Amino acid sequence: MSKKFDVCVVGATGAVGEVILSILGQRDFPINNLYPLASANSAGKKVFCQGKSWTVQDLATFDFSKTQIGLFSAGGNISEKYAPIAADAGCVVIDNTAHFRRDEDIPLVIPEVNAHAIAGYTKRNIIANPNCSTIQMLVALKPIYDAVGIERINVATYQAVSGSGKKAITELTDQTVNLLNGKDVEVGVYPKQIAFNVIPHIDVFQDNGYTREEMKMVWETQKIFEDENILVNPTAVRVPVIYGHSEAINIETKQKITAAEASNILAKASGVTLMDKREDGGYATPFVEASNNDATFVSRIREDISHDKGLNLWVVSDNIRKGAALNSVQIAEILIKQYL
């Protein structure tokens, strides 16, 4: 019989944790015992995975030596405190937060892009999952980077509220219902009303005027591509969409690539679904195509009329699946197949 693993999911009751549980089931991950972990408030609740009911336990009192793999999605502060405890107890942590991503001795992995980096997990027993916006951008750009090189990436994101957790989903839906009923809205998670609005601000402002969400896309692209010279210029924007981030990307390549050549390359790329007909509806959108789908969709490929080596793409993916839960489970699959 093939080997089975004891797995804990930290943040199992959250927006990402719930999808991790469902993906572990869908992909038939070889689980022996599953330990869903959350705050003391959730202890005793039941969650379902692989046709069985499992009881949520309090993270604070959990003994990580019972597990070989930990999938963490409960926020940066929780990972900062508990990931090293888990790692020291022999549990390999796959962390969805930004906390460890920039640490040199922690691999930052997108399986379609740099699966080889997983080998470095032994240094600290922790592997970081990149930011959702970085993941879908690099799944789409890596095949082009390999073919012709990329000098510079200009990107504007259109990010769904689920990236800020369940409270943000409730904030968008409550505000929408209130506005449609002529009532006042309450603002809590975001600095301004998100319903029927667009907010050009995600995460905290940095000294250079960019936000941390934007700088994550710069730092993470350079680390994952192992290319400190690649230039990235992001603007990260929150939009009133529940699931699915979109990105308008313009790249300047090292050698010229035509739109047709880029399409041919992306049609064969792992994790990518090309949806690019130059007709009404011939492109992917977050709600209709990306939501609840594993693929990173690429549409609107066209040569930049303002730059000889410029190319435009529209890239859409489910931020909670490929942007978080699925990417983590894919890392875990490689880990157990090649390393554990």
Active site residues: 132, 245
CB of 12 to ligand A2P, least distance (A): 6
Q: Which is nearer to ligand A2P, 70 or 271 (CB)?
A: 70
Question: Among 7, 19, 38, 109, which residue sits at the site for ligand A2P (rule: CB under 6 A)?
Answer: 38
Q: Rounded CA gap, 15 and 153, in Å?
A: 30
Residue 36 in 3-state DSSP? Answer: strand
Verify binding: residue 78, ligand A2P, rule CB under 6 A.
yes
Of 36-44, 100-108, 216-224, 260-268, the segment contacting ligand A2P by CB under 6 A is: 36-44
CA 319 from chain center: how many Å? 5
Of 37-45, 109-117, 171-179, 232-240, the segment contacting ligand A2P by CB under 6 A is: 37-45
Q: Which of residues 1-20 bind ligand A2P (CB under 6 A)?
A: 11-15, 17
Label residues 122-153 b or e (16+ Cβ within 10 Å = b).
eebbbbbbbbbbbbbbbbbbbbbbebbbbebb
**Closest-CB residue for ligand A2P?**
14
SS3 of 171-197: the string is HHHHHHHHHHCCCCCCCCCCCCCCCCC
What is the full DSSP assignment across 221-250? HHHHTT-TT-EEEEE--B-S-SS-EEEEEE
Identify the CA nearest to 202 among candidates 249, 159, 138.
159
Radius of gyration of the chain (CA): 20
CB of 42 to ligand A2P, least distance (A): 3
CA 144 from chain center: how many Å? 20
CA 332 from chain center: how many Å? 15
CB of 2 to ligand A2P, least distance (A): 30
Binding mask 155-194 for ligand A2P (x = CB under 6 A): ----------xxx---------------------------
Question: Among 22, 39, 50, 285, which residue sits at the site for ligand A2P (rule: CB under 6 A)?
Answer: 39
Verify binding: residue 41, ligand A2P, rule CB under 6 A.
yes
User: Which spans of this chain sit near ligand A2P (rule: CB under 6 A)?
Assistant: 11-15, 17, 38-39, 41-42, 59, 74-75, 78, 165-167
